Structure 1
Amino acid sequence: MAIAREEVQHVAHLARLSLTEAEVEKFTAQIGGILDYFAQLQELDSELEEVEPMARPIDTANVVRPDGLVPFAARETLLNTAPEREGDFFRVPQILA
C-alpha cells in the first residue's frame, strides 16, 4: 500500500516537523512498508477465523517458590558495617519533617 508524499508532508506539518526532501522520500518509503505489513496482517486475520481464541498459548501454574524464613548467618557483620545502628536496624537521617 503506497502513501503519497503529500500525506507525509501533511503529517509532518501537523507534528510541527520540518523535513528535507530526502527525509520525505525516506519516510514515504518506510511508512509504505509499514502499511504493507499491516495489509499482510489483515489477510492473516481472515485465515485465522477458524482458530479458537485463547488467553495464553501455554497453561502455566504458579512457578514461584514458596516463601520461607531463612536466618541470615552474617547478620551481626552486616549490622556492624552501618555508620549508625539502633538495635537490629540501620539508623538513617530523617528525610521527612
Structure 2
Amino acid sequence: MSEINREAVAHLARLAHIEMTAEELDKMAGELDVIVDSIKTVSEVAGDDVPATSHPIPLANVFREDVPGATLTNEQALSGAPDAEDGRFKVPAILDEE
C-alpha cells in the first residue's frame, strides 16, 4: 500500500497554499511514494554499525586564516565612482526622506 497518496498531497498543497492540477497531484504522489519507499529500503539495510551521514565524502573545514591584507585608500575606492561627496559614494535617494 502506498504511504503517499493523491489526497495526502492535495492536503499538504492546501496547507502550503500551493495550487496543483490533478495531473501534478498524481505525479507528485507517485514521486513522493518512490522517495518514501527508497528511504525505507535504505533504513532496513543500514544497521547499528553504519554511522549516520549527510554526505558520502568526509568534509573538513576549508576556511583560510583571516589575515588582513592590503586595502584601498578612500581616494582609490572612490576613483571610479560616477559621483562622490564628502568622501562617500553618492547615490540617488530611494526613500522620501532627507
Partner of 1:30: 28
Between the aligned residues of both structures, percent identity stands at: 10
Note the aligned Cα RMSD (angstroms). 4.2
How far apart in 2 are the matches of 1:77 and 1:58? 43
Structure 1: give runs of 5+ residues left out of the alignment.
Answer: none
Aligned residues: 87
**Is residue 61 of structure 1 aligned with residue 24 of structure 2?**
no
8 Å contact from structure 1 (residues 3, 32) kept in 2? yes
Q: Please show how residues 9-88 of structure 1 align to structure 2 within 5 Å.
A: 11=11, 15=14, 23-49=21-47, 50-53=49-52, 57-72=57-72, 75-79=74-78, 81=81, 82-85=83-86
The structure with more helix, counted as a fraction of residues: 1
Q: Which runs of 5+ in 2 are unaligned?
A: none
Task: Answer yes or no: is the 8 Å Cα contact 2:9–2:29 preserved in 1.
Answer: no
CA apart distance, 1:59: 4.2
TM-score (norm 1): 0.51
Q: Is the 8 A contact 1:84 1:91 kept in 2?
A: yes
Aligned residue for 1:64, secondary structure, equals: coil
Q: Which has the larger radius of gyration?
A: 1
TM-score normalized by structure 2?
Answer: 0.51
Q: Matches of 2:18 and 2:70 in 1, distance apart?
A: 58
Instruction: Quote the offset at 1:76 in angstroms.
Output: 2.5
CA offsets, 1:26-83, max 9 Å, x none?
A: 422431231122112111012112312357642413522432131427x424435443
